[in-house]
Amino acid sequence: MRARRVAYRADGWGSGELWLDGERLLWHELPRPGADRDEPHPLADRLRAFFAGEPVSFDDVELDLEWCTPFQLAVAETLRRVPRGEVVTYGELAALAGYPGAQRAAGTFCAHNRFPVVVPCHRVVAAMGIGSYGSQGIEYKRRLLALEDVAL
């Protein structure tokens, strides 16, 4: 495997990066404030469009999921089917993936998601509120949901 880094800038969000093996996505870092070079790549173009508020689909993006357990794979596949503009709770996500009662494990998967936006963990909320969003924080999650016209 030979990983290639592609940096991109999203207006109003900052710089993000993709790590790819050919066209297979290995890792995605969400944009953060700061400047990096802006490289042309079809997936980077789609991410720029997403962060500009356009209704972009990532259903066809090939992901490196070889490291996943059967549970993690089921959660990732289920999460990719949660439509833009909708949210599910961690418990609902676990049940939809075939693992009712595994909401904490679903939350752990989301917390370690290598493919934010492509595997849209921002669409998963806590039963009693928005829930967390790792080092990016709740306001970042609110901004992502606002792009999809979700108000919590």
Q: Which of 6, 20, 121, 144 is catalytic?
A: 121
Global model pTM greater than 0.75:
yes
List of E strands, the chain: 4-10, 14-21, 24-32, 88-89, 124-125
**Residuewise pLDDT in 10s, the chain (152 residues):** 689 999 999 999 999 999 999 999 999 999 999 877 888 999 999 999 999 999 999 999 999 999 999 999 999 999 999 999 999 999 999 999 999 999 999 999 999 999 999 999 999 999 888 888 888 889 999 999 999 999 87
**DSSP β-bridge partners for residue 27:** 19
* Residue 68 annotated to the active site: no
